[in-house]
Amino acid sequence: MDGCIAFSDRQEQLLWLKYQFWEKGISPREFRKCRMRDIKDIVDLDIAIQTKLQREAEIKKIQAQMNKW
User: Is the CB of residue 54 less than 8 Å from the CB of residue 44?
Assistant: no
What is the model's pLDDT at position 4? 62
Closest by Cα among 24, 14, 13 to 50: 24
pTM equals: 0.59
Q: What is the pLDDT of residues 1-54, one digit of tens each?
A: 445 677 788 888 888 888 888 888 888 888 888 888 888 888 788 889 999 999
Burial class of residue 1 in the structure, from the number of CB atoms within 10 Å of its CB (0-12 exposed, 13-18 middle, 19+ buried): middle
For the chain, the domains span 10-68
